[in-house]
Structure 1
Amino acid sequence: MVAVTPVGDGHYLVCLSPGFFRGIAAGDVIAYDERNKSAQVVERGGNVAVQVFHAGIPGDTVESLKRNAMDIGGRVDGELDSLVVLTFPVRVGFPAIESILAGLPSDGVEWEYGNVFDEQGEPLAWWQDAT
């Protein structure tokens, strides 16, 4: 499930960055293909999605992550027992985002960008037009 709002012509505004759907972030406008269960970005919203998967780390570490993300202009778009979904305006910059994530424990944490790389691991580079 992805939180969207219809905007007409079969297009949807993504309201919250998804935790399990790659390639999109909050603020993007997408065309969704119900039959293939796929989304095509029509317009980028200028946000970077980050999924942080964690297990066995203290709750105060997770709270610190969320607080640090908000301190630099990010927001928490979703949370499960072992997942935090963050959204950052691209203007925050990748170094600032990665600095926050570098403060997480190396054991029990994996994170990934949700809309920065394609399926082959190549940068999508949409942010070059957004900055």
Structure 2
Amino acid sequence: MHLLLRLGERDGKPDYESVHVEPIAGNRFRVLYSPGFAYGVAAGDELEVDEEGRYRVVARAGNLSVRLLCGSGVADIEQSLTEQIERIGGRLDGQVRAGLAYTIPLSVGRDVIGQLFAKAKQENPSALWEYGNVYDEDGKLMEWLRSEA
């Protein structure tokens, strides 16, 4: 099933991302694929979601959400990068013309992940990449990762 997660507002109106989830109980859901836009969450995490789409992670699955964006498109990047991500136990969760969303186990290590994405950026200078669930809105390491740092 799909669930709308609130991203914030755009032009004074709520903005949402539709994500694949499985219901657990009541307003609690498990995310099946790392989102492309919603921050703070990755595949496997359990969320509580209110009627307006605001969400709170209540249980972490131990995965990192990593996104790559490229204004010129990701067609030339996707195959090679996805093969490398799969070799370390990750997977491609979503793709649009200009973006890729991956889920990678935290146990791989952020150094290894960072090296893979830095190489992809070096080979495709217009590409940008980011973690979707590592830093908070102030740029600080999220609480759930502080013991892993």
Q: Same fold (TM over 0.5)?
A: yes
Write the deviation string for residues 35-94 of structure 1: whole angstroms up to 9, x where unpaired: 2x2110000110000011013367343211111111111100000111110100110100
Deviates more, 1:23-32 or 1:61-70: 61-70
Structure (1/2) with the larger strand percentage: 2
Is the Cα contact below 8 Å between 1:23 and 1:118 reproduced in 2?
Answer: yes
Is the Cα contact below 8 Å between 1:19 and 1:85 reproduced in 2?
Answer: yes
Is the Cα contact below 8 Å between 2:64 and 2:103 reproduced in 1?
Answer: yes
Change (3 A) 1:57 1:16: closer
1:129 Cα deviation after fit: 5.4
Compare relative contact order (CA 8 Å, sep 6+) and give the higher one, 1 or 2.
Answer: 1
Could you list the runs of 5+ residues in structure 1 that have no partner in the other structure?
none
The amino acid of 1:89's aligned partner reads P
1:34 Cα deviation after fit: 2.4
Write the deviation string for residues 81-113 of structure 1: whole angstroms up to 9, x where unpaired: 111101001101001101110111342101110
In the alignment, which residue of structure 1 is the partner of 2:140?
A: 122
In the alignment, which residue of structure 1 is the partner of 2:31?
A: 14
In the alignment, which residue of structure 2 is the partner of 1:29?
A: 46
Change (3 A) 1:58 1:42: closer
**Structure 1 counterpart SS, 2:136:** coil
**Structure 2 counterpart SS, 1:62:** helix
TM-score (norm 2): 0.80
Change (3 A) 1:28 1:130: farther
Change (3 A) 1:58 1:81: closer
Is the Cα contact below 8 Å between 2:73 and 2:98 reproduced in 1?
Answer: no
In the alignment, which residue of structure 1 is the partner of 2:63?
A: 47
Q: For this pair of structures, how many residues does the alignment match?
A: 130
Q: Quote the Cα distance in structure 1 between the aligned partners of 2:87 and 2:80.
A: 10
Change (3 A) 1:51 1:15: same
Q: Quote the Cα distance in structure 1 between the aligned partners of 2:146 and 2:139.
A: 17
Q: Quote the Cα distance in structure 1 between the aligned partners of 2:62 and 2:147.
A: 9
